[in-house]
């Protein structure tokens, strides 16, 4: 009997069992990355200081999804004012482009900016994280279209679709958010190409919300435009060499609010 027990303990896993185990792990991983959470890298400074270039964030796909009876444990909820949202850019000029902005206007809200200060339904909002046109550098110089939106003529950076549409949503000098839409602005208000330039975010285009930064690496602002194979290999080598001294360790597990 002792010999039989010893032989059972020493039995090795078969090739089929190994493949089955790996398949289960792969299926679970794909399910999580597709329906529950996904990682994204921040390529631009439009959400500074909340999100920095080179932040790698984990995005929750489930929270803003329509409730499902088969998964009652997931805390579904509606998008609220000031939520940070990840979404597909809603314009045909740049399809499949994923962006991240702050939801500052929900259906029915009346929005306008005065010298960079956001007014929602007639009330000035306290936004300590945003940048304003204070003249501290060329990027912070006052711009009538950007900082007094929607008070001036169309801007040359506006997409063609939005340039033909935005005036139809203005009532008494304020932009009124239509049903099933969201108005999204960057926290780097003076350096963000956001809803002011390309329009509302359809609710159905929202992919989720970023939860926290799991890794942050100091990345040049122009890195997003270096797309050739050689440039990608060069930056990958740079990351390997400087992983320890260029990683922003203090931002690891930084919660995004």
Q: Name the more confident of 255 and 27.
A: 255
Residue 245 to residue 239: CA distance in whole angstroms? 10
Q: What pTM does this model have?
A: 0.82
* Rg (alpha carbons) of the chain, rounded to whole number: 23
Phi-psi region of 39 (alpha: psi -120 to 50; beta: other; left: phi over 0): beta
Torsion-angle region of residue 25: left (phi > 0), alpha (psi -120 to 50) or beta?
Answer: alpha
User: Lowest-confidence range among 40-44, 61-65, 72-76, 171-175?
Assistant: 72-76
Of the chain, the percentage scoring pLDDT greater than 90 comes to 66
Q: Given CA atoms 244, 250, 255, 257 in this order, what sign does their dihedral have? A: negative
Tokens 């007094």 map to which residue? 148
Query: Measured between alpha carbons, how far is 58 from 37 in angstroms, rounded to an integer?
Result: 7
The three-state DSSP-derived secondary structure of 68-83 is: CCCCCCCCCCCCCCCC
pLDDT band at residue 69 under the 50/70/90 scheme = low
Average pLDDT for 191-213: 94
pLDDT band at 73 (very low <50, low <70, confident <90, very high): low
More confident residue, 112 or 68: 112
- pLDDT band of residue 87 (cuts 50, 70, 90) is very high
Domain chopping of the chain, boundaries: 37-217+251-255
Whether the Cβ atoms of residue 189 and residue 131 lie closer than 8 Å to each other: yes
pLDDT tens digits, residue range 146-163? 999 998 788 999 998 899
Of the listed ranges 3-17, 58-72, 98-112, 155-169, the least confidently predicted one is 3-17
For the domain covering 37-217+251-255, report its CATH number: 2.10.109.10
Average pLDDT, the chain: 85
The confidence score (pLDDT) of residue 29 equals: 41
- Residue 206: other Cβ atoms inside 10 A: 20
Q: Are 79 and 85 in contact (CB under 8 A)?
A: yes
φ, ψ of residue 36 in degrees (nearest 5): -110, -55
Residue 35 pLDDT exceeds 60: no
Residue closest to 133 by CA, chosen among 149, 152, 111, 155 = 149
């Amino acid at each position: 009997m002792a010999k039989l027990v010893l032989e059972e303990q020493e039995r090795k896993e078969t090739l089929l069992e190994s493949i089955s185990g790996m398949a289960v792990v792969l299926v679970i991983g794909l399910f999580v990355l597709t329906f529950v959470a996904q990682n994204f890298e921040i390529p631009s400074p439009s959400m500074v200081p909340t999100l920095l270039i080179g932040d790698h964030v984990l995005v929750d796909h489930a929270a803003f999804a329509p409730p499902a009876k088969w998964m009652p444990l997931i805390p579904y909820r509606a998008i609220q004012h000031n939520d940070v949202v990840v979404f597909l850019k809603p314009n045909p000029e740049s399809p499949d482009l994923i962006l991240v902005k702050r939801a500052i206007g929900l259906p029915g809200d009346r929005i306008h900016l005065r010298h960079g200060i956001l007014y929602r339904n007639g009330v000035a909002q306290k936004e300590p994280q945003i940048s304003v046109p204070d003249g501290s550098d060329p990027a912070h110089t006052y711009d009538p279209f950007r900082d007094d939106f929607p008070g001036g003529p169309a801007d040359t950076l506006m997409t063609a679709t939005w340039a033909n549409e935005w005036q139809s949503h203005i009532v008494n000098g304020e932009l009124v958010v239509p049903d099933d839409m969201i108005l999204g602005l960057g926290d780097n208000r003076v350096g963000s190409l956001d809803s002011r330039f390309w329009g509302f975010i359809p609710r159905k285009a929202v992919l989720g919300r970023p939860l926290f930064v799991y890794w942050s690496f100091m990345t040049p602002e122009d890195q997003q435009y270096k797309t050739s194979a050689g440039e990608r290999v060069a930056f990958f080598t740079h990351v390997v060499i400087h992983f320890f001294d260029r990683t922003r360790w203090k931002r690891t597990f930084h919660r995004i609010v």
